[in-house]
Structure 1
């Protein structure tokens, strides 16, 4: 039979052995940082768990998530798993912002043992349109304030850039001189003082917080101003029958109505000989171009380029004048030919008809035998009876005929030889023949 001393010794040994195999955490829980929508997993590593149980609790709300292998919460995104009775996992799928906070791993010893890990939920930036600026209209010389606000976690950082890559002009409120030019401006609010037309365009508000993706908002600044015209050449010269181009440069916003008029107010519109163009160089800068093809004397004079918008109207003039030079026309100077007359073998044509306005000219200076004018010849022919005489075709009206086979006699060259004399004799014979008919 055991003595009291032996019994006490056994109790002490039992207690010592039990204390030696109490559950304990093998390592701390790792804090997690997860972007919203991603999955998160806490791991709790326990040694000597024995018959004890592991539970998970959300510390800030005291809501029990799971006990041992059973999920307690009604959140369908929460689950648990374990391996070899020592590694216990808490899974949260599709993390949301409300999941942010401390999570506690507990062992139901007496007293309870626990350790915690923190879940940080990152949220990518999102611009708050209701609190941010929209497109802005401002008069030239006015002040513009642009605001851009964004939500997100961590807090979003706001920067500004111009969409076309040009610098942002920073001025003092009381000075027209630029204080600085920057490619990027930081801050939720950007103030532009005494804006000019060159600052017109699209600005980008960019929000970023290290959580992809960054987001941006386009804000368009429209600067209104009266039309302005610049004419590089107010006096333009060109030879007749050549092409010429007149140009005016217009700056205006809102966009102006651009057109050309002549000096008497006649509007110039595109046609076969006139081409009117308006070429856009920027949102407020345009080139007016008027091309005139094969200019004539009638085209010479003043042309006005006019630009008009809701803020006003402006015009400038360009004078077109003739300058000597080569043209597209063939030389109209009479050329000396060997033959004074010729017969049309293909029948009468438009060039073959003699009209009262066309005159025969002398063969050369000093000739004694001068040729009658076409008017005189026509008058003589009209008096010839309609008898089917060669060279005369009767018309519907009695007493009227047309000479159809003779061309206008061209002047003979001086110092002519026998061939020219032969031509003169032929003409004289023709006149003699006419006189016999009278």
Structure 2
């Protein structure tokens, strides 16, 4: 056993030689069992090529970089000075070339070769892909333009295959293109490294996303903020506001401005209003450039009536809106007064209707008095006089 151990390498060579002679005698030559497969790998990951050879005998397997003709390894011995390369053998018929941490320069044609005469070989291609990466020094940053001006957005990226650039608005709005052969067009996405925006309006203000993708994950993007500057614009929904005294009322103004404006309220005489128990001022953002101003006036008194101004100022200009506050009666109070008036009128009507029968209905007081009844009612004397005269005249005519 010791002699066998000491002669191990020699014995192995003898076995290989015998096998080689036997393969030649039998007419068996090395043959590739499977084709060498192409490999596509992302930069930085590990790649491998597997070569399966039957009937190798005493021949050798070599790995060669075909495009540079550089010998990489023979059998399990790496020849090239590259620590990232290694070859493994399963002691039967499979040889594997391993490339750790693939780099772009590793891309190319690889050959598994057997030193027969003529030589036998098979090749495969190593494709090294690189995820996209934004080239920040060549890509636009946040920018500011006046309303009506132009903006040029640029985005560049590297990677392999070369990345495709797509633009979108972060808020999902349209990208507006003007001046092209089709005139004004609106699209939700735009392809290309450059986006030209002309006659920019405030509605185009916002974040634009430059997205680079080449099929190799992950995709990357950069956010570019477009600021559109314009002087303030104030809109007043209700310029005339009525409220009863003793109640609370809210005055509102809508303001659009960029850059952000300073907003405040004053009385019509120029007196600035500050927040306290009487006044409460709030602002609600509607968009990147619009805000709703609100002024709540509590427990309105007659001294609170009159004009109010909402004022907005930024570095470009200023604007104001005017609101007039007047006193208004509560609807329920008015109904109470109407009801009271109606009751008075109804009472008068009832009294009138009740007075009629006292003068005109039933047996009349004057007749009762003439026939011996109770004394005549007050104010019935004229009626009695007429009745007596009528009876005397009748009797006289009858006598004649």
Superposition TM-score tier, normalisation by shorter sequence: 0.7 to 0.9
The residue aligned with 1:146 is: 153
Q: Which of 43, 54, 57 pairs up with 1:36?
A: 43
The residue aligned with 1:350 is: none
The residue aligned with 2:191 is: 186
1:369-393 Cα offsets, whole Å, 9 max, x none, are: xxxxxxxxxxxxxxxxxxxxxxxxx
Matches within 5 A, 1:36-115: 36-115=43-122
CA shift, 1:301, in A, is 0.9
Q: Give, in whole Å, the separation in 2 of the partners of 1:327 and 1:275.
A: 28
The residue aligned with 1:130 is: 137
Q: Give, in whole Å, the separation in 2 of the partners of 1:174 and 1:57.
A: 55
- 8 Å CA contact 1:49, 1:85 repeated in 2: no
Structure 1 stretches of at least 4 aligned residues deviating more than 6 Å after TM superposition = none
CA shift, 1:89, in A, is 0.9
The residue aligned with 1:235 is: 240
1:131-173 Cα offsets, whole Å, 9 max, x none, are: 1111111111111111111111111111111111122222226
- 8 Å CA contact 1:241, 1:327 repeated in 2: no
Q: Secondary structure at the match of 1:49?
A: coil
CA shift, 1:76, in A, is 2.5
Q: Which has the higher helix share?
A: 2
Q: Which of 301, 304, 311 pairs up with 1:299?
A: 304
How many residues align? The count is 314
Structure 2: 5+ residue stretches without partners: 1-20, 334-400
Q: Give, in whole Å, the separation in 2 of the partners of 1:16 and 1:213.
A: 52
Matches within 5 A, 1:314-333: 314-325=319-330
The residue aligned with 1:355 is: none
Give the TM-score normalised by the residue count of structure 2.
0.74
- 8 Å CA contact 1:33, 1:120 repeated in 2: yes
- 8 Å CA contact 2:23, 2:55 repeated in 1: no
CA shift, 1:297, in A, is 1.1
CA shift, 1:18, in A, is 4.8
The residue aligned with 2:366 is: none
Q: Secondary structure at the match of 1:268?
A: coil
CA shift, 1:240, in A, is 0.7
Question: Aligned pair 1:205/2:248, yes or no?
Answer: no
- 8 Å CA contact 2:23, 2:57 repeated in 1: no
1:235-254 Cα offsets, whole Å, 9 max, x none, are: 11111111011100000000
CA shift, 1:25, in A, is 2.8
Over the aligned positions, Cα root-mean-square deviation in angstroms equals 2.3
Matches within 5 A, 1:257-336: 257-325=262-330
Q: Give, in whole Å, the separation in 2 of the partners of 1:27 and 1:143.
A: 61
Q: Which of 141, 152, 156 pairs up with 2:163?
A: 156
Structure 1: 5+ residue stretches without partners: 1-13, 329-438
The residue aligned with 1:247 is: 252
- 8 Å CA contact 1:100, 1:120 repeated in 2: yes
Distance 1:16 1:35, change over 3 A: closer
1:252-292 Cα offsets, whole Å, 9 max, x none, are: 00001000111111100100110011211111000111100
Q: Secondary structure at the match of 2:216?
A: coil
Q: Give, in whole Å, the separation in 1 of the partners of 2:78 and 2:111.
A: 15
Distance 1:102 1:19, change over 3 A: farther
The residue aligned with 1:336 is: none
The residue aligned with 2:7 is: none
CA shift, 1:85, in A, is 3.2
Q: Give, in whole Å, the separation in 1 of the partners of 2:251 and 2:181.
A: 42
